[in-house]
Amino acid sequence: MLIIAKVADIEILEADIIREERELCPISDVPKPQRSSILSRLIDSCLLYFEAIDQGIKADQQEYDEELMYTLESMVDGGGWAPPSEEETRAMEARVSRRVVVRKYIHQMQKDAHRLSDEQLRAFYEDQKDLFTSPEEVRVSHILIRKHRERAEEMAHEVRAKIRDKDDFDCATASCSDCPSNLSCGDLGFFPRGKMHPAIEEMAFSLEVGEISDVFTSPFGYHILMVTDKKAPAQLPFEEIKDFLRIRLMSLEREYYLAKHVRDLREKYKNLIQILAEEYK
């Protein structure tokens, strides 16, 4: 067993890094994190464990048993499972115990975080109003003549020549369009930029309400659009986003303080950390 690093009396093996890598990226064709960053995560977990023990946090039997059962089930579900040796069993039990203790410690830290008041949320909202604006949206009706049709381009121009107003457009949609929206007068509903094919989006946002486009193409075929409504960017009301904002800011605050706490622990316990494998130094 290749020992990659030690944190006090805890050895971090190459097998630990491979196991963590598999847990982070169980799908083989997903890019895997650099192993040095995985080693850093394992070291941080050890430091949190030492600090938790120093503060008297322990894993009770029920928590330990539940985590052990989850670990065993994960090993079996992962395939290729073989009964561990006695040494592997001891190592697994130690990992499970540390994981429970670290999770309890982090939970305790987060529980102690203060709840953001409405006044604090309002202040952030007022200071960052640009973040809380709904995007410009456009609503269009759509006629599509697919390219596989015989005389598709010619047909699209013939259809457009007969359209003078909304009633003509609705009639052409029902009788000629290959788009599934033909069942609802071609209505595509409201959409912001970035949701439609660029050719459709560019045309839709260039038209005024009531305006009907000329024939234009995309990989799907030949299109005709009619803009039926527009929504200008609008400020989202504070009351509508208050609860979401509180959850998001508290989550960011917890992430920040956990990262800061780990940096402090790395300084506190720096003499306990040994990187033994040259390729990880």
Tokens for 123, please give them: 């202040």
What pLDDT, on the 0 to 100 scale, is given for residue 114? 65
Tokens for 8, please give them: 């006090």
Whether 221 and 272 share a structural domain: no
Do the Cβ atoms of 64 and 100 come closer than 8 Å?
Answer: yes
| Tens-place pLDDT, residues 35-64 | 889 999 999 999 999 999 999 998 889 988
How many domains does one find in the chain? 2
Whether 14 and 91 share a structural domain: yes
Q: Give long-range contacts, CB 8 A cutoff, 24+ apart: 231-235.
A: 231/134, 231/136, 231/137, 231/138, 231/139, 231/190, 232/136, 233/133, 233/134, 233/135, 233/136, 234/133, 234/134, 235/129, 235/132, 235/133, 235/134
Is 151 within the bounds of a domain? yes
Cα dihedral value 97, 94, 96, 89, nearest 10: -140
Q: 17-26, 84-93, 122-131 — which is least confidently predicted?
A: 17-26
Which CATH number fits the domain that encloses residue 10? 1.10.4030.10
Whether 108 and 185 share a structural domain: no
Q: Classify strands 273-275 and 3-7 as parallel, antiparallel or unpaired.
A: antiparallel
Domain of residue 46, residue span: 3-115+245-280
Is 263 within the bounds of a domain? yes
Whether 15 and 75 share a structural domain: yes
Whether 105 and 25 share a structural domain: yes
Whether 110 and 209 share a structural domain: no
Query: At residue 28, does pLDDT exceed 70?
Result: no
Which CATH number fits the domain that encloses residue 188? 3.10.50.40
Whether 15 and 93 share a structural domain: yes
Whether 227 and 252 share a structural domain: no
Do the Cβ atoms of 242 and 123 come closer than 8 Å?
Answer: no
Whether 106 and 8 share a structural domain: yes
Is 29 within the bounds of a domain? yes
Is 238 within the bounds of a domain? no
| Tens-place pLDDT, residues 63-102 | 888 888 887 777 666 555 667 788 888 888 899 999 999 9
Q: Output Rg (C-alpha) for the chain, integer angstroms.
A: 30
Is 46 within the bounds of a domain? yes
Whether 31 and 101 share a structural domain: yes
Is 127 within the bounds of a domain? no
CA distance 153 to 94: 70
Q: What is the pTM of this model?
A: 0.58
196 pLDDT band, cuts 50/70/90, is very high
Cα 272 → chain centroid: 35
